[in-house]
Amino acid sequence: MKTNLKCFLGLILTIAFFSPLKGQEWVADTISVHFQCGDSLTKSVGFSKVTDLRNVDPRFISVYEKKKWLFFPVDQIVHTHLPLSQGLLDAFSYEKPGVYGLDVHQFYISYSETYFKRQLNLFSTLTVNSDNGQSSSPTGTFYYEHSFEQKKKEPLIDAYEQLLCEWQKSFASDMLSVGEGLDELVPGSLYHFRRGQQAVKRNFYIETEAFAGLNFWGVDAALWFSEPEGMRSFTRQLGVLRYVEHPTFRAIAIGRNVRMWHYRITQNWVFTNKVAMLMGFNNWKDMKTVAHKLEEVLYFNLSFSQRINYNRFDQSGLVFGLGFMQDMHYVIYHNPKLKIGATMNIAYKF
The pLDDT assigned to 35 comes to 84
Domain 203-349 in the same topology as domain 22-195: no
The pLDDT assigned to 260 comes to 96
The pLDDT assigned to 94 comes to 75
Residue 221: CB atoms within 10 A of its CB come to 13
3-state secondary structure of 85: helix
Q: Using an 8 Å Cβ cutoff, are 334 and 295 in contact?
A: no
Nearest of 75, 58, 56 to residue 67 by alpha carbon: 75
CATH number for the domain formed by residue range(s) 203-349? 2.40.160.20
Q: Is residue 115 exposed (0-12), middle (13-18) or buried (19+ Cβ within 10 Å)?
A: exposed
Q: Using an 8 Å Cβ cutoff, are 82 and 33 in contact?
A: no
Show me where the domains of the chain are located. Answer: 22-195, 203-349
Q: How far apart are CA 105 and CA 48, in angstroms?
A: 17
- Between 1.10.405, 3.30.70, 3.40.50, 3.10.450, what CATH number should domain 22-195 receive? 3.40.50
The pLDDT assigned to 38 comes to 73
Nearest of 100, 102, 104, 93 to residue 41 by alpha carbon: 93
Q: Using an 8 Å Cβ cutoff, are 321 and 305 in contact?
A: no
Q: What is the pLDDT along the chain (350 residues), one digit of tens a residue?
A: 444 444 444 444 444 444 444 434 445 578 899 887 877 777 778 888 999 999 999 999 998 877 666 667 788 899 999 999 999 998 887 766 678 899 999 999 999 888 888 999 999 999 999 876 566 788 999 999 999 999 988 999 999 999 999 999 999 999 999 988 988 998 888 999 999 999 999 999 999 999 999 999 999 999 999 999 999 999 999 999 999 999 999 999 999 989 999 999 999 999 999 999 999 999 999 877 788 888 899 999 999 999 999 999 999 999 999 999 999 999 999 999 999 999 999 999 99
The pLDDT assigned to 19 comes to 41
The pLDDT assigned to 97 comes to 64
Residue count (the chain): 350
